Structure 1
Amino acid sequence: MSTDSMVTHVVAALAVMITAARVLGAAARRVRQPPVMGQLLVGIALGPSLLGLAPGGIRESLFPEEITPVLTALAQVALVLFLFAVGYELDLGRLRNRRAVTAVSLSGFAFPMLIGAALVVLLPGGFRSANGGLPTDTTFTLYMAVALSVTAVPVLAGIIRDQGLAGSPPATLALAAAGVIDVLSWPVLALCLLGGGEGSLSTWFTRMALLAAYILVMLLVVRRVLVRWLNRPGARPADPAPLVCVLALASAWATSALGLHVIFGALLAGVVMPRQRDGAPDNRVLRPLQETGGLLLPVFFTVSGMSVELDALHTSDLLLLALLCVAAVVGKVVAGTLSARAGTRLPWRDSLLVGVLLNTRGLTELIVLNVGLQAHVIGPRLYALLVIMALFTTLVAGPLIGPLHRPAATTPVAASHDDTGSAHDPGPVGARPGTTGYR
C-alpha cells in the first residue's frame, strides 16, 4: 500500500471510528451508562466478530491490515496524554479521613488480587487453554491478580456524577480509595512486566535498577529543573502545552525503552509536573490534555474493541468467563463493603454502595488488558474474556446503585467532567489569582 493510499484509509477509518464512538457513547449515557461502554461496543462491532462477517469484504476495505499499526500508535499517543493528566491530577495529600481510605483501598486491592491468583492456581488447565498455550507462570499469575484488582477512577467519577452521587460519603470514600488502588496497581503491573519474557535473574535486577534510577532522576532532577524553569525571572505565562507533550512523550519513550509500557512513563511525567503554589493543577496544562483525550480516547476504546475476537471463543471458555465475572464482583464488593463498614460509621447500605462502586473497572481495566496483550502475557482469547468481564462489572454498576442510593445524602459538587469522567476545575484557564508560580 502506498503512502497516499494509507493516509486515505487512515483518515476514513478515523472518521468512521470517532463518529460511531460518539453516537454510541451518547446513547450509553442516555441509559445512564458510561460512554466508554458504547465506544468499546463500537470497536467490537467494527472488528472481526461482527463487521468481519459481512459479505463483500466491507471490513477489509474500511480497515485494511496495513493501517492497524497506525491506528494503534494514535491510540497509544492518546493514552499517553490522558494518563499524563491522570498523574498530574493525582494529589493523595488532600485525602480526608485517611484511615478509612487506607482501609478500603488496601482491602479493595489485596483481596481481589488474592482471588485472581487463587483462580490461576486452582484452574491452571482452564487458563492455559484460554491463553492459547502461553505460559501460566508466576508472571501470568501476578498479572491476573492485578487484572482483577483495578478500579477505573475516570469511569467511576462519571458514574458518580450521572447517578447523582457526587458529594455523598460513600461516593467520596469510593473515589478516594479507587485513586489509591490505581497508585498501588501500576507499580505491581510494572513489576509483573519486568519479570516477564525471557531473560536471566541478573537481567531482571538490571531492569529494576535502571527503572529505580529513572524514577529518582525524574523526581529529584527533572522536577526541580521544571520548577526553576517555570519560575525563572521574566518568564512569560506562555502556553505550556508543547512542554507538557514533550515531557509526556519523552518519559513514555524512556519507560518503553526500559522494557515497560509507555503508560508508566506518562503517569510518572504527570506526577513530577510542577503544580501551582496552592497545590492545584494548572488548567493551562490540564485543559489541552483533556480536550485531546476527549477527541482521541474513543480511538483507543475502538481499537481495544476491535481486538476482541468473539468468534474465536470456545464453549469451554464460558465457564471460565462466568468464574471471572463472579470472582471480580465478589472480590470488590465484599472487600469494599466490609472495610467501609469497619473503617467508618457508614450504615450497611452505604457500605455496600462503596463496594459496588469499587467494582467499576472500565477504562483502567482496558489499559491493563492492552498492556498484557501487547506484552504477550495474555492471548487473544483470554483478552476477549477479560474485556467482557470489564464490560459486565461496569454495566452492572448502575442497576446495583439504584436500590442503594439515597438521594437526600448527596450534595452539589463544583466540578465538571469530560466524557471519560475525569474531573477538572470549571474555573478560568490559567493560574488563579495570588497563586502565580509553581512548586
Structure 2
Amino acid sequence: MSIALCWLGLLALFAGVTWLGRRLRVIPIVSQLLLATLGLPLVLLWSTPRGFGAEQLLAPDWLALLYGVAFALVLGQILSEVVDLELDAGSLKIAVPSFFLPFFCGLACALWLLPAQSTLASIAIGLLFALTAIPVLFLYLRHFGYPPEKIRQLLQAAILMDLLCWAIFALAEGSGAPEKLLWPLLGACLPLLLKLLRVRSARFNGLCFFALLLAMQQFELNALVFAIAYLLLLAGLRLPLRLPLPAAWFGALQTWLAVPLILCYGLLHVDWRSAWSSYSWLQLAALLLLPILSKLAGNWLGLSWAESRLGSRLGKWRESLLLNTRGLTEIVFLNLLLQQQIIGAELYFALMLMGLISTLLPALTGGTPYPSHTVNEARRYEVS
C-alpha cells in the first residue's frame, strides 16, 4: 500500500509540474523531461533513507503490467504516426543526410569511444543519434509560424527518418533471433483477415492493433517487428485505423499517466551515486555533444540540398535546430533498449540528458509561444 502511495505521489508531482508548465506555455514533454532528469534524482536521494528506494518502487508485480500497457499505448501512437508517410523530393533530400550522417557518427562513437558492447547496441546508439521527435517538431513549427506547406515537408522528412530508425532496429533485433519472428509476423497478418471479412471499422482495427502489441510485449516477442509490419500492411490494404479511445481521452492518458510512468520506470533503474563512473569525461562529452553536432550537420546538409524546394524565412540554422528535437520518441526508444538490456542504465541516463538538451535548444532561439488559435489543431501532439 505504501509503495502504491509513493507512485501516486510521483504521478501527482509530474501532474503538478505539467500543469505549471502549461500555465507558462511550456510543452508538456519539456516540463516532464526537466523533472525526470533534474528533479527525480533529488526525490530519490530524499526518499531512500526513509525506506523507499528504487528497488522497492520497482518491486510490485502490478507495476510491470501497468508499465507494459503504458508503453504499448505510447509506442503504438508513435508508430501509427510514423507510418503516415507521403514522400516528396524535398522531404527525401532533407531526410537522407539528416539521418545517415548522425547514424554513422553514432556507430563510430559506439565502436571507438564507448566501452565494448554488442553489435545491436552499437546500431541502436547510431539510431539514437539520428532520431527526430515528430510531435515536438510539429509544435515548434507552429510556434514559429511556419506556413502549412513547409510544416508538412519538414514533418514528412522527420517521419521518414523515424521510420528508418524503427525499421532498421526491428530488422537488426530480429536477425539475432529469427525464430522469434514467426508469431509477430503471423500477428501482423491480421489485416489480411480483416480485409477478407470486410471489416472496415477504424476503431476495431485500432483496438486489435493495441491489444496484439501489448500481448507481444508481455510474451517478450518482437513487438516492434509486429507493429511496423501490421501498420504497413494496414496502410497497403487501405484499411482505416483510429485510436481505441477518443482522442481527448487518449491524449490525457498519455500526458498524465503513461509518459510520467515511462520516465520514472526508466530512470529508477539508474544508480545516481555511480551514474557517471563507467565513462571518462571524453566519453561523457561525446555522448552529450556528438549526437547534437552530427544531427545539426546532417540537417544543415539536407536543408541546403533541398533549398530550391524548401526555403525558410527563419533560416536553415533554426530549421536544423528544429529537426534536432528528440522528445518522447527518444524516451520510448531508450526505454525499449533498457527494458531489453541492450544498453545499461548509465548510457540510458546520458542519452536522456542529451535528449533534454536537444529538445530545449529550439526554445532558446527566441519567439513567442505557439498562438492560442493553434491549440485545438496541436492537441493530439501535446503529449510529446
8 Å contact 1:156–1:357 — kept in the other structure?
yes
Counterpart selection for 2:95 from 105, 124, 133: 105
Q: Paired residue for 1:338?
A: 301
One-letter code of the match for 2:112?
Answer: L
Q: Does 1:314 align with 2:276?
A: yes
Residue 361 of structure 1: aligned partner: 326
Does 297-306 or 367-376 show the bigger shift? 297-306
AA at the equivalent of 2:122: T
Counterparts in 2 of 1:122-141, with a 5 A limit?
122-123=112-113, 127-128=114-115, 135-141=116-122
* Structural mapping, 1:280-299, within 5 Å: 282=242, 287=247, 288-297=249-258, 298-299=260-261
8 Å Cα contact 1:107/1:339 also seen in 2: yes
Once residues 248 and 56 of structure 1 are traced to their aligned partners in structure 2, the CA distance between those partners, rounded to angstroms, is: 36
- Aligned AA (1:190): A
Take 1:177 and 1:64, find their aligned partners in 2: how far apart are those partners? Answer: 43
Tell whether 2:191 aligns with 1:229: no
1:343, distance to aligned residue in structure 2 (A): 1.5
Residue 36 (structure 1) aligned with residue 29 (structure 2):
yes
Deviation of 1:185 (Å): 0.9
Distance in 2 between residues matched to 1:55 and 1:291, nearest whole Å? 28
1:143 to 1:156, Cα distance in 2 relative to 1, 3 A: same
The answer on whether the counterparts of 1:84 and 1:268 sit within 8 Å (CA) in structure 2 is no
The 1:308/1:245 distance shift into structure 2, 3 A limit, reads farther
Give 1:138 deviation, angstroms. 1.9
Tell me how far 1:147 sits from its aligned partner. Answer: 1.4
Aligned to 1:118: 108
Is 1:19 aligned to residue 26 of structure 2?
no
Deviations 1:167-191 (A, max 9, x none): 3555433222111111111111112
The yes-or-no answer on 1:303 pairing with 2:265 is yes
Quote the residue 2:341 is aligned against: 376
What is the Cα deviation at residue 80 of structure 1?
A: 1.2
Deviation at 1:142, TM superposition (A): 0.9
Which of 340, 352, 364 is the aligned partner of 1:399?
Answer: 364
Aligned residue for 1:307, secondary structure, equals coil
State the alpha-carbon separation in 2 of the partners of residues 90 and 143 from structure 1: 18
Over residues 11-58 of structure 1, what are the superposed CA-to-partner deviations in whole Å (9 max), with x where a residue is unaligned?
x234212221122223444555432232234345675x3233227733
Equivalent residue in structure 1 for 2:152, among 169, 172, 181: 172
Taking structure 2 as the reference length, what is the TM-score of the superposition? 0.82
Cα distance between partner residues in 1 of 2:182 and 2:332: 25
One-letter identity of the residue aligned with 1:350: G
Alignment partner for residue 154 of structure 1, among 135, 138, 142?
135
1:349-392 Cα distance to aligned partner (Å, 9 max, x none): 53222221111012111111111112211111111111111111
1:112/1:331 contact within 8 Å kept: yes
Q: 1:16, 1:269 → 2: CA distance? A: 37
TM-superposed CA distance for 1:255, in Å, is 6.3
Identity %: 20
For residue 309 of structure 1, report the CA deviation from its aligned partner.
3.3
For residues 148 and 355 of structure 2, the distance between their equivalents in structure 1, rounded to whole angstroms, comes to 25
Alpha-carbon distance in structure 2 between the residues aligned to 1:56 and 1:379: 22
Cα distance in 1 between the residues matched to 2:39 and 2:268: 6
Q: Distance in 1 between matches of 2:48 and 2:185?
A: 53
Query: 1:419 deviation in Å?
Result: 6.5
Change (3 A) 1:255 1:246: same
Select between 371-380 and 280-289 the one with higher mean Cα deviation.
280-289
Summarize the Cα distance change of 1:415–1:181 in structure 2 as closer, same or farther, 3 Å threshold.
same
TM-score, length of structure 1 as denominator length: 0.72
Structure exhibiting the larger radius of gyration computed from Cα positions: 1
Distance 2:281 2:17 in 1: 27
Greater share of residues in helix: 2
Q: How far apart are 1:113 and its partner, in Å?
A: 0.6
Q: Deviations over 1:93-151 (max 9, x none)?
A: 545xx00111112221111110001112322xxx22xxxxxx52322221111111111
